[in-house]
Amino acid sequence: MLKRIGARAGPDERARMLDAESIESYRTALLKRRETLQPARTESADSVELDQSRVGRVSRVDALQQAAMHAAAQRLRGAELAGITRALQRIETQTYGWCLQCGEPIATARLDVNPTAEYCVSCAERRET
Ligand SMILES: [Zn+2]
């Protein structure tokens, strides 16, 4: 009778526990993402060789810029892979979906966008500033 569930808080904030099915779908998404990130390592090595054969046409600045972009992409990929590994570990230890900072549940809408999210929205915002 006095059910006010959902009146203020969204369904994401109410779902304090992720069900096994949701966890499994995040796990699948994480594993897929990891697969797309890993083979890129050999690919990028090829593209570096390709760039060297064109070095006469590419100015030194361009080459340096490309190398910097390449390194940045490599760093991002490494960071994302590490994030995926940590997320998979949290699934194993059943701490997945909980903010590492405040211990509150992370909104599923946030996890849907980024399954490696480690902090709830408010903690993530606080960390960025
Ligand atoms: Zn938090």
Per residue in 77-120, pLDDT (tens digit) is: 999 999 999 999 999 999 999 999 999 999 999 999 999 999 99
Beta carbons within 10 angstroms of residue 116's beta carbon: 20
For residue 107, give the DSSP letter: P
Whether 7 shows a pLDDT value over 50: the answer reads no
First to last CA, the chain: 43
Ligand 1 center to 65 CA (angstroms): 37
Ligand 1 center to 117 CA (angstroms): 11
Assign 100 to helix, strand or coil: coil
Distance, CA of 35 to CA of 33 (rounded, Å) = 5
Beta bridge partner(s), residue 98:
105
The third-level CATH classification (topology) of the domain covering 18-128 is Four Helix Bundle (Hemerythrin (Met), subunit A) (1.20.120)
Whether 50 shows a pLDDT value over 80: the answer reads no
- pLDDT at residue number 6: 41
Ligand 1 center to 37 CA (angstroms): 28
Ligand 1 center to 106 CA (angstroms): 7
